[in-house]
Amino acid sequence: MSEFYKERVYPLIFMFIVTLVCIVLTAGAHILTFDLAEANELSFTRRAILDAAGLPYENTTIGIEEEYLSSISEENGYFTAVVDGKTRYIVPLAGPGLWGTIEIMAGLEEDLTTFSGVAIVSQTETPGLGGRIEEPWFTAQFAGKKGPFTIVEEGTSAAANEVDGITGASRTSEFFKNLTDRASAEARRIIEGV
């Protein structure tokens, strides 16, 4: 009996208690920080929308919220912002990357062709190479330009349809170009229902 208890029952009870304690601790921490994590997530999305709209904001949770609530209006499946009397349209887009899906917010001027900005929502490209699409210089170069784009060597883009590729990440650059090239048609489909 005692052998049975020591070899079979005790390990089972012990493991059960350890598991229970671990679950209570982690679940507790999760619940305690849930609102904060949700708020962060929302703030990231809002910041991406503001970036795509080309609007300036103070980079704090409160700064983002204020600017977002005062300038962005949410429509069915897209967002709009009025800048200097003209409407800008921000549409969410997703497409394949090298490893996973790249999700972006594409901001377009009234003509639905010229970019007002581009912002990454999520991506899983190679850190340090394709992952550099998150760097501000890369996304900033789309503002004021029109697709379809031609990728040129890093640091050499000049014309309105040229964008710098990322050295060492030709494939990611190509995937990103394909995604932005679709923005105009995709925006028309979402906004005008064409």
Residues that bind other proteins (CB under 8 A): 6-7, 10-11, 14-15, 18-19, 22, 25-26, 29-30, 33, 36-37, 40-41, 43-44, 124, 126-129, 167-168
Helix, strand and coil percent figures for the chain, each rounded to 5: 50, 20, 30
Q: Do 143 and 86 form a contact (C-beta atoms < 8 A)?
A: no
Nearer to other proteins, 77 or 96 (CB): 96
Decide: 151 and 183 in contact? Cβ < 8 Å: no
Q: How far is the CB of 111 from other proteins (least distance, A)?
A: 33
Q: CB nearer to other proteins: give 40 or 70.
A: 40
DSSP letter string over 30-97? Answer: HHHHHHHHHHHHHHHHHHHHHHHHT----SSHHHHHHHHHHHEEE-SSSEEEEETTEEEEEEEEEEE-
Phi, psi of 77 (to 5 degrees): 90, -5
Is the Cβ of residue 80 or residue 122 nearer to other proteins in the bound state? 122
At residue 129, φ and ψ (nearest 5 deg) are -115, -90
Residue type, 166: I
User: At closest approach, how far in Å is the CB of 46 from other proteins?
Assistant: 13
Q: How far is the CB of 155 from other proteins (least distance, A)?
A: 8
Instruction: Choose between 108 and 169: whose C-beta lies nearer to other proteins.
Output: 169
CB atoms within 10 A of CB 164: 16
Q: What's the min distance (Å) between Cβ of 85 and other proteins?
A: 34
Q: Which is nearer to other proteins, 115 or 175 (CB)?
A: 175
Quote the tokens at residue 146.
């029109």
Least Cβ distance, residue 126 to other proteins (angstroms): 7
